[in-house]
Amino acid sequence: MRAVSYYVVVDKIKNKKPENKGFVIAEHQDDENKYLKGKVISKGELVEGIQENDIVWYNRHSGHGIEFDNNIYYVIKYGDIVIVE
């Protein structure tokens, strides 16, 4: 599987449950996070500044899921990526 143009295929990284370290985190607070974290699986030929296996943060409402080799990946636009770790 290979992304084309300005598209990026990511594998969503599941967020760990917050640990209690002296303060209380309400369950709904993490749901309010506007961005999700993912690992880049493939990038289109027009995408610059991102490599495969990079960890990126992207808008949670962008893209769509696709099943490939019994895994669910997400296809997002390059412009929806806000951070590269």
pLDDT tens sequence for the chain (85 residues):
899 999 999 999 987 665 666 666 555 555 567 899 999 999 999 999 999 999 999 999 999 999 999 999 999 999 999 999 9
The answer to whether the CB of 39 falls within 8 A of the CB of 54 is yes
What is residue 45's predicted lDDT score, i.e. its pLDDT? 97
The tally of CA atoms less than 13 A away on the side-chain side of residue 24 is 2
Phi and psi at 53, nearest 5°, equal 75, 0
List the CATH code of the domain at 7-14+33-84.
2.30.33
Question: What pTM did the predictor assign?
Answer: 0.79
CA distance 83 to 55: 8
What is residue 36's predicted lDDT score, i.e. its pLDDT? 93
14 is written with which tokens? 């599941």
Phi and psi at 45, nearest 5°, equal -70, -15
Token pair 């506007």 is found at 34
